[in-house]
Amino acid sequence: MNIIKSTGTFSFFVLISRVLGYVRDFFIALYLGSGPLADAFFVAFRIPNTFRRLFSEGTFNAAFVPSYTSELIKGKDKAKEFANSVFNLLVFFLLVTTILIEIFMPGFVKIIAPGFSDDKEKMQLAINLTRLTFPFLLFICLASFLSAILNSHNKFAAAAAAPIILNILLILCLIFANKFGDTLVYYLSYTVSIAGLVQFIFLIFFVRKFYLPNFNLKIKMNDNIKLFFKKLLPSIFASGVTQINILVGTIIASFQASAVSYLYYADRIYQINLAIAGIAIGTVILPNLSKYVQTEDKLKISEIQNKALELSLFLSLPASFALIVASEEITSSLFGYGSFDIESVKNSARALFYFSFGLPAFSLIKIFSSFLFARNDTNTPFKISLLSVTVNIFISVIFFNEIGFIIIPIATTISSWLNGIILMIIVINKGYFKFSSNFHFSMLKILFSNFITLSIFIYLIKFFSEYLTYENNYKFLCIIILVIITFVIYILISIVTKAFKLSDIKIKY
């Protein structure tokens, strides 16, 4: 496996998905803005979308890949038997969960959006929409199971491309927004669940070489199956802690008008880089890292872990700095149109500004967690994540009345850095990770490259400031060009400083 090439493949499709996700959100911002309809839809969409991220963005992998890899070493038949037992248990559990939530949806929505309770119409709309979107959970979890099998065989393209389906179908729905009027949110909600089913069918086509689902109730509950499900819940919580923190933020933000929408748009922007700098790298390294842990190849383990950490910081630091210095210009250029007025831009940009400080931490959590997941340790990340979420809730609740929704990205960033630092200390103390002899020197080169690039980016933002105002019709084109130019400059500077080596592209681990 080549980390950079595999990450590049995964990131390419993730980037396409995120770009289409932006197009989707652009139309949503255009037609719904940040009003009550948008708030209700985002609450309904947040639940299945959060579970999509929890399961499909490396979380399911964390529990499944090490167990499936150990079965593959024993033989293909053992691996298929293990996979089928997991599939059947998942189907049973997900069906029961979906039916129960659909029945008790009013109580469920009151838990996830308690701030809507004072507005009966808004609450009822959120209940109706969540009922329509919730079946997505069933299909996306099963799709994530198929993705994990593909990833275990170092096949990353199809799994990374699958989420594109959701965005394409939602965009097609939004194209006819003018015909739907206020019923648009209902059609969008139907489309979410349909997209989950299509995504599941799409992945069956690609995974059939390694496994075909065979549903039956004769499930063999051996030690490996028990171990997998014992690891699953902690891994979901641990690997998805950033998404859980965002979900907690959504619940608290529901007490302030339009705050759910402000956080949603900010979240959409920084998630683009998180998917590449954290999720992609964590997903790519896990299969081979698990294999080398099984064979106790310490040299390969060290090489993969150090390169993964270095690559994560190489990608997350420039994005973090750029979003900090140009949060308002970026938000305005991406979403500042139609119903998304200048006040919405400023509030979403404020949220993005504080989220941006935590971007490297969000990525580090994914990387350090993978070091533990590869060793079948999901309990340690789970306990740290539980602490992180507790800190997040404590800070958000204590200061919400005084500061408002802006405390949510601040609390998320603080709790994420706490999570990332504790994870790093633990993997070092357990002897699972050791910085290579040249890591610190490489970091200095990365920071130096970032300093020069950031200075150029700040100059470009100021020089083209008149093209980046809310009123300017060309602001989207301008920010895209500036970002591309800055990224090319960063790569060139990194090659000169040797923060990025072209020879690394050919290295296999």
pLDDT band at residue 325 using 50, 70 and 90 as cut-offs:
very high
Distance CA 266, CA 353 (A): 9
Q: Are 427 and 435 in contact (CB under 8 A)?
A: no
**Do 415 and 245 contact (CB within 8 A), yes or no?**
yes
Q: How far apart are CA 170 and CA 252, in angstroms?
A: 27
pLDDT tens-place string over residues 50-79: 666 666 555 677 777 778 877 787 778 888
Answer yes or no: is pLDDT of 211 > 70: yes
CB 224 within 8 A of CB 82: yes
Distance (Å, rounded) from C-alpha 335 to C-alpha 337? 6
With b for 16 or more beta-carbon neighbours within 10 A and e for fewer, the 246-275 pattern comes to bbbbbbbbbbbbbbbbbbbbbbbbbbbbbb
**Residue 367: which of 417, 310, 309, 316 has the closest Cα?**
309
Q: What is the dihedral of CA 382, 262, 164, 488, to 10 degrees?
A: -90
Q: Please say if the pLDDT value at position 92 is more than 70.
A: yes
125-174 tens-digit pLDDT: 888 888 999 899 889 888 888 988 888 887 878 888 888 998 899 898 88
Residue with the larger pLDDT of the pair 503 and 396: 396
pLDDT in the model for residue 240: 62
Q: What is the mean pLDDT of residues 283-304?
A: 80
Taking the C-alpha atoms of residue 371 and residue 282, their distance in angstroms, rounded to an integer, is 9
Instruction: Give the model's pLDDT for residue 403.
Output: 87
Residues 6+ apart with CB under 8 A from 450: 317, 318, 321, 490
- The radius of gyration of the chain from alpha carbons, rounded to an integer in Å, stands at 22
- Cα dist. 158→12, 14, 104, 191, 257 in Å? 11, 10, 35, 21, 39
Assign 405 to helix, strand or coil.
coil
Please state the rounded mean pLDDT for residues 258-266: 80
| d(C-alpha 350, C-alpha 457), whole Å | 20
DSSP-assigned letters across all residues of 470-489? TT-TTHHHHHHHHHHHHHHH
Is residue 340 over pLDDT 90? Answer: no
Residue 112 has pLDDT above 60, yes or no: yes
Domain boundaries, the chain: 3-506
Helical segments of 275-326, H only: 281-295, 298-325
State pTM to two decimals: 0.76
pLDDT at 491: 92
Give the residue, 129 or 22, on which the prediction is more confident: 129
What is the reported pLDDT for 36? 72
Q: What percent of the chain has pLDDT over 90?
A: 23
- State the average pLDDT over residues 328-338: 86
Q: What is the pLDDT of residues 184-202, one digit of tens each?
A: 888 888 898 999 999 999 9
